[in-house]
């Protein structure tokens, strides 16, 4: 199974990716998690990406495309993968097409922007694993601690309200066009295009997982 999870910042891509990847036994490729790991490690990529990410803008297409091409060449991607937060621009989607990367599904998770602001303000993350919680909607067993490791949870630098608004604007301008890109491709060339499925991301985490798994079986 090779799929893209498409959705606005805070739509629940990371949350649902964990369940989908477990079900299909595939790795989650989150460009956001990869970039945050590079920032933490202080690599040249991380140094370059940090200011852009903190401002809610997108890292350059060339950097991201190279990062993903290297990642999908790893042996654990042979049986499939899930893209979370990638592609995010038309050039990134075109680069996958040009590289002949075949995809089975594009799954869009749709959540209204006002619900997103509330989700992001309460988000807490475990940086080492990418596991995500919410103080109200999906709390960890022990306050401020990751369920599996007991390590501290952190708030993301780009989850400040002003930055969240900027990220939503950037989504509208640069990523939302991918909805038409993939749904039109599926309509015009069903043989080579990935199947396009859209689900509502409103409701409980469990309800959305069920919708996602049903969509991927249809």
Residues annotated in a binding site for ATP:
10-15, 123, 132-133, 203
Q: Which of 20, 21, 132, 216 binds ligand AP5 (CB under 6 A)?
A: 132
Q: Does 13 qualify as catalytic in the annotation? A: yes
CA-closest candidate to residue 182, choices 72, 58, 61, 93: 93
Is residue 24 a contact point for ligand AP5 (CB under 6 A)? no
- The whole-angstrom separation of Cα 25 and Cα 75 is 13
Is residue 138 a contact point for ligand AP5 (CB under 6 A)? yes
Long-range contact pairs involving 12-18 (C-beta distance under 8 Å, separation at least 24): 12/109, 12/111, 12/119, 12/201, 12/205, 12/208, 13/84, 13/85, 13/109, 14/84, 14/130, 14/132, 15/132, 15/138, 15/205, 16/109, 16/205, 16/208, 16/209, 16/212, 17/82, 17/84, 18/131
| Subset of 144-183 contacting ligand AP5 (CB under 6 A) | 158, 167
- The whole-angstrom separation of Cα 87 and Cα 91 is 8
CA-closest candidate to residue 62, choices 53, 49, 80: 49
Q: Which of 2, 9, 107, 199 binds ligand AP5 (CB under 6 A)?
A: 9
Spot the catalytic one: 119, 131, 167, 211: 167
Q: Which residues are annotated as a binding site for AMP?
A: 31, 36, 57-59, 85-88, 92, 156, 167
Q: Which of 4, 29, 38, 58 binds ligand AP5 (CB under 6 A)?
A: 58
Give contact residues for Zn ion (rule: CB under 5 A): 14
Smallest gap from Cβ 136 to ligand AP5, in A, equals 8
* Residue ranges that bind ligand AP5, judged by CB under 6 A: 7, 9-15, 31-32, 35, 52-53, 56-59, 64, 85-86, 88, 92, 119-120, 122-123, 132-134, 137-138, 158, 167, 203-205, 208
């Amino acid at each position: 199974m090779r799929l893209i999870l498409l959705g606005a910042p805070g739509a629940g891509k990371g949350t649902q990716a964990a369940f989908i990847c477990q079900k299909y036994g595939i790795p989650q490729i989150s460009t956001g998690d990869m970039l945050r790991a590079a920032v933490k490690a202080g690599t040249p990529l991380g140094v370059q990406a940090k200011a852009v990410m903190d401002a809610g803008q997108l890292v350059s297409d060339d950097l991201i495309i190279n990062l993903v091409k290297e990642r999908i060449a790893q042996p654990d991607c042979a049986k499939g993968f899930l893209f979370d937060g990638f592609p995010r621009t038309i050039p990134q989607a075109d680069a996958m097409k040009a590289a002949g990367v075949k995809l089975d599904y594009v799954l869009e998770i749709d959540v209204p922007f006002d619900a997103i602001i509330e989700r992001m303000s309460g988000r807490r993350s475990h940086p080492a694993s990418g596991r995500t919680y919410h103080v109200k909607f999906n709390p960890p067993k022990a306050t401020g601690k990751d369920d599996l490791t007991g390590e501290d949870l952190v708030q993301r630098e780009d989850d400040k309200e002003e930055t969240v608004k900027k990220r939503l604007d950037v989504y509208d301008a640069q990523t939302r066009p991918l909805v038409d890109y993939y749904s039109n491709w599926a309509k015009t060339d069903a043989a080579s295009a990935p199947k396009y499925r859209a689900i509502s991301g409103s409701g409980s985490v469990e309800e959305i997982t069920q919708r996602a798994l049903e969509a991927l079986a249809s």
